[in-house]
Amino acid sequence: MANEVIYSEENLEVVIGDITEEETEAIVNAANPTLLGGGGVDGAIHRKAGPELREECRTLGGCQTGDAKITRGYRLKAKYVIHTVGPVWREGSAREEELLASCYRKTLKLAKEYGIKSISFPAISTGAYGFPKDQAAEIAVREVKGFLKENDILVRLVCFDKETTQYYLAVLKKLRCYG
C-alpha cells in the first residue's frame, strides 16, 4: 500500500506509511551509533536495503549523536540513505533538544552537498530512544522549515502511525496561526 500524504504545502509533506517504501532521492535512517542496523526504522531500512548497506556502513566508523553520514540506498527505492543518530531521551538533562536539532541540520546539509532534491525523514528518536513526540515534532518542523527558506528541496516527514502525524499537524497549524 502506498504511503499517504496527510498534509502538503509548497515543499513540505507529512506522510503516514513505511519509510522504506519512499521514492524520494534519499531517506533518513534513525540509526544507532554503530550504523550497523538495529530495531525499529534502523532495522527495517537495513533489511530492505540488503547486506550491502551494512557492509558500506562498516567502512564509516560509526556516527556520533547529532551527526549524519551518507551511503547508497542499494535495494531501496531511494538512491541514498542518510544515517543520523538521535539522542536518547534523558528527561531533557543531556542536551537532547540541541542534539536532535543537529540531526536535522546535519542531514539537510549532507542532502544539499549531494544535490539531493527530495528527502524523507522518520520521527527521529521518538521510538526506542523515548524522545517525547510533541517536542520532537516541533524541533523537526522548525529545523526543516528554516532550511526550506533558503533551499529548494522536497521534504517528507514520514510517520509510522496516525498519532505521530497529529503532533506534526499540531505544530504546522500553530505556525500557520501564529507565524
Q: What CA–CA distance (Å, rounded) separates 166 from 54?
A: 33
Active site residue 161: no
For the stretch 84-119, pLDDT in tens is 999 999 998 999 999 999 999 999 999 999 999 999
Interhelix angle 133-148/162-178, nearest 10 degrees: 50
The C-alpha cell 516527514 sits at 157
DSSP per residue, 43-101: HHHHHHH-HHHHHHHHTTT---BT-EEEEE-TTSSSSEEEEEBPPPPSTT-SSHHHHHH
Q: What is the mean pLDDT of residues 114-139?
A: 97
Q: Are 84 and 67 in contact (CB under 8 A)?
A: yes
Which CATH number do you get for residue 64? 3.40.220.10
Q: Amino acid letter at 108?
A: L
Q: Looking at the predicted structure, is the pLDDT value of residue 178 above 70?
A: no
Q: Looking at the predicted structure, is the pLDDT value of residue 179 above 80?
A: no
Confidence of residue 1 (pLDDT cuts 50, 70, 90): low
Rg (CA), the chain: 15
Domain coverage including residue 160: 4-178
Q: Are 15 and 174 in contact (CB under 8 A)?
A: no
Confidence of residue 176 (pLDDT cuts 50, 70, 90): confident
- pLDDT at residue number 177: 57
Q: What CA–CA distance (Å, rounded) separates 100 from 66?
A: 6
For the stretch 23-76, pLDDT in tens is 999 999 999 999 999 999 999 999 999 999 999 999 999 999 999 999 999 999
Q: Count structural domains, the chain.
A: 1
pTM: 0.96
Give Cα separations from 63 to 50, 57, 68, 69, 80 (angstroms).
20, 10, 7, 7, 17
Given 42, 67, 134, 152, the catalytic residue: 42
